[in-house]
Amino acid sequence: MTFLIYLQIFLALFLITTIVSQRSNSDDVMLNGPSHGSFSTAGTFLRRLTIFLIFCFFVSSLLLARNSATSQKSKKSLISSLEGEKIIQENKAEDINVPVLQ
């Protein structure tokens, strides 16, 4: 589980880096002029890398969600544990004989 969390953080940072490093179409037009094509080898590689990272990020998110759901099934929910404590405290209060002041 810890490995998946570190993998998720790494993928998020790497994904942000690849998205920020990509040039937009307006950058291509300004640098190359409108007559040149906007595809370059580096741009195509970054686009494919970004798509791959998005896929990996999505899969790791699903794995983290599944692991979280399966680990929560074995634990009691917070509300049910608090309700159990409330019932125990009410029973203790009823068992104690407290003198009533008149």
**CA angle 24–29–30, rounded 5-degree value:** 95
- pLDDT range class, residue 86, cuts 50, 70, 90: low
- So what's the pLDDT on residue 69? 81
- The DSSP 8-state label assigned to residue 35 in this structure reads T
Residue 94 tokens read as 């009823």
Please report the pLDDT score of residue 84 as a whole number.
Answer: 60
pLDDT in tens, 13-69: 999 999 998 876 665 556 655 555 555 676 788 889 999 999 999 999 999 999 888
Q: Using an 8 Å Cβ cutoff, are 57 and 4 in contact?
A: no
Q: What pLDDT, on the 0 to 100 scale, is given for residue 2?
A: 86
Is 14 in contact with 50 (CB distance < 8 Å)?
no
To the question of pTM greater than 0.85 for the whole model, the response is no
